[in-house]
Structure formats: structure tokens, C-alpha cells
């Protein structure tokens, strides 16, 4: 058996009174738990998010409790991305306060290593594109040679 998970993101628009943006965010977060469940909208967006395989284990039949032992061990951290401005931040989750400092350091090491690889790949692809574009600006567009069909073939 394989347990799969998929991210479900829900949203709700609320009105708060505040003097500045930070106050509005604080007021909204403080009142989030009081919002009735039926007010939340959203679901899994297959076109924007993938599915993650959390665990694989042997099944000795149709034991429905097979994953209960490991259910609490897999946690997720959110990385928030503003793809318009290019700004990103970590959205810490409550479970982070429940793990030891050593465990948090180990997890952050794994995450930062994978993120560094993604960053390096993104930068490398960008510089490859910029180099090709600079070459295009310097050399100009490719010369196109029009080929004409010999007479009699287009009839």
C-alpha cells in the first residue's frame, strides 16, 4: 500500500479594522479560528500542485489501520511564492514548535540543500538564456535563405 497526499488550499475573505497592514494581518490571523468551516472555499488545484507519496508499506490484507502509526510523522512546511514580484518566504507551521532543536536543524539542512540546488539550476538557466539573447543582439537575427521550388513541381 502507498499513502498519497495532496495539498488542499482553502481561502476566505474577511474584513478587519486596522490602521496598517501588519495590524490587519494580526487581526485576521487572531480571528481565523472563529471562521465557520462552511465559509472556507477552495480545494486541490491539480494544475498547480502535485501529489506526494508519503509512505509505502506491505499490506497483509485490507487493514485500514496500517498507516495510523506513521500518520503523525510526516509533516509539511509551506514556502509561499509571489510569482509576480519574485518574493518568497517560509510560512512556519505549529508543529515546528513541537520538534527538538536538533531535529529542526536537520530538517532545515535537508530543505536548504534542495532549495539551493533549485536556485542554482534557475540561475544557470537564466544566465544561459541571457547569453543566447546577448549573442542575438550582437550578431542580429539569423539569416534566412528563401528556397524556391523548381518550376513544374507546384502544379
- pLDDT tens digit string along 51-100? 988 877 777 665 566 666 666 688 899 999 999 999 999 999 999 999 99
Residues 61 and 108 occupy one common structural domain = no
Residue 17 has pLDDT above 80, yes or no: yes
Residues 125 and 79 occupy one common structural domain = yes
Give the integer Cα–Cα distance in Å for 90 and 126. Answer: 24
Residues 69 and 79 occupy one common structural domain = no
Residues 34 and 49 occupy one common structural domain = yes
Residues 70 and 81 occupy one common structural domain = no
Expressed as residue numbers, the domain containing 46 is 1-74
Structural domain contains residue 153: no
Structural domain contains residue 152: no
Residue 103 has pLDDT above 90, yes or no: yes
Query: What's the pLDDT score for residue 71?
Result: 64
Query: Over the Cα atoms of the chain, what is R_g?
Result: 26
Q: How many domains does the chain have?
A: 2
Query: What's the pLDDT score for residue 2?
Result: 81
Structural domain contains residue 59: yes
Residues 127 and 98 occupy one common structural domain = yes
Q: What 3-state DSSP class applies to 28? A: helix
Amino acid at each position: 500500500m502507498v499513502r498519497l497526499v495532496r495539498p488542499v488550499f482553502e481561502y476566505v475573505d474577511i474584513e478587519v479594522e486596522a490602521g496598517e497592514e501588519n495590524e490587519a494581518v494580526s487581526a485576521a490571523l487572531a480571528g481565523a479560528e472563529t471562521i465557520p468551516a462552511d465559509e472556507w472555499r477552495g480545494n486541490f488545484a491539480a494544475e498547480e500542485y502535485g501529489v506526494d507519496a508519503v509512505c509505502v508499506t506491505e499490506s497483509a490484507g485490507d487493514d485500514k489501520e496500517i498507516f495510523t502509526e506513521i500518520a503523525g510523522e510526516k509533516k509539511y512546511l509551506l514556502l509561499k511564492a509571489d510569482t509576480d514580484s519574485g518574493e518568497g518566504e517560509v510560512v512556519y507551521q505549529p508543529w515546528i514548535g513541537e520538534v527538538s532543536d536538533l531535529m529542526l536543524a536537520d530538517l532545515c539542512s535537508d530543505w536548504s540543500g534542495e532549495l539551493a540546488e533549485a536556485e542554482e539550476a534557475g540561475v544557470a538557466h537564466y544566465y544561459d538564456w541571457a547569453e543566447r539573447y546577448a549573442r542575438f543582439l550582437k550578431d542580429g537575427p539569423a539569416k534566412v535563405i528563401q528556397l524556391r521550388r523548381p518550376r513544374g513541381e507546384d502544379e
